[in-house]
Amino acid sequence: MSLTLYLHPLASFCHKVLIAFYENDVAFQPVTVDLMDPESAAQLRAKWPVGKIPVLYDAECDRAVPETSIIIEYVQRHYPGPVRLLPDDPDEQLDARLWDRFFDLYVSVPMQKIVVDRIKPEGGRDPKGVADAHAALDTAYAMIDAQTAGKTWAIGEQFTIADCSAAPGLFYASIVHPFDQKHQHLSAYFERLLARPSTRRVLREARPYFHLFPYRDAMPDRFLMD
């Protein structure tokens, strides 16, 4: 098998890539990385010294491919499947890339700030940073609500790389910062993401690790079953 994906089943950015792979039945070998284990971490850093996951390794050309969006674009270019996660139209490509980055930077990043702060020791916490992260999610939710009004997916009727990014970011963000009732378009979009077979598969595979999630106590029961 040519492709190996270094990942952790609980990590939202790994979920993004897995959703893209499952959409197109990409053949790959998953390798779970434990960054607390020196041998496991060294195996990852041998491919990508930055030491962050996910990282794709293509044995066919001895190439490491880091960063979620680049991994997805690389696979679409070299191992294409039936679902075009980057549209053919140049302007739609820009929209897909824009909203892909939006969900990464303005949903997943503040969500992770809130999550990580919870496991810091009392003296090392950052209440101002956490408050800013909650405010950033409020802004993001309002923008997503407006963007998804009248659309099935993030940029229209085609499921794209933007939706691969949206699903895991919104999944965890909805736990640490629940949607407001006024965000009906966002809520409906999130339900469509949850119903997508690729998303359901990723969450099913992540469930054995949910006990490690710092906000497990706030996780709705429906996320624990199909």
CATH classification of the domain holding 104: 1.20.1050.10
pTM of the model: 0.96
At residue 226 the predicted structure's pLDDT band, cuts being 50, 70 and 90, is: confident
Contacts of 18 (CB under 8 A, 6+ apart): 5, 7, 198, 201, 202, 205
pLDDT value for 1: 63
The pLDDT confidence band at residue 60, using thresholds 50, 70 and 90, is: very high
Inside any domain, residue 111: yes
pLDDT value at position 122? 84
Residue 170 lies in a domain: yes
Structural domains in the chain (count) = 1
Read out DSSP for 126-171? -HHHHHHHHHHHHHHHHHHHHHHTT-SSSSSSS--HHHHHHHHHHH
The model's pLDDT over 140-192, given as tens digits with 9 standing for 90+, comes to 999 999 999 999 999 999 999 999 999 999 999 999 999 999 999 999 999 99
pLDDT in tens, 4-40: 999 999 999 999 999 999 999 999 999 999 988 999 9
Half-sphere exposure (Cβ direction) of 169: Cα atoms closer than 13 Å: 28
For residue 103, is it within any domain? yes
Q: Which whole number is the average pLDDT over 47-71?
A: 97
Query: Domain for residue 7, yes or no?
Result: no
What range defines the domain where residue 175 resides? Answer: 90-196
The answer to the question of residue 73 being in a domain is no
Decide if 109 is inside a domain. yes
Is 108 inside a domain boundary?
Answer: yes
In a domain, 21, yes or no: no
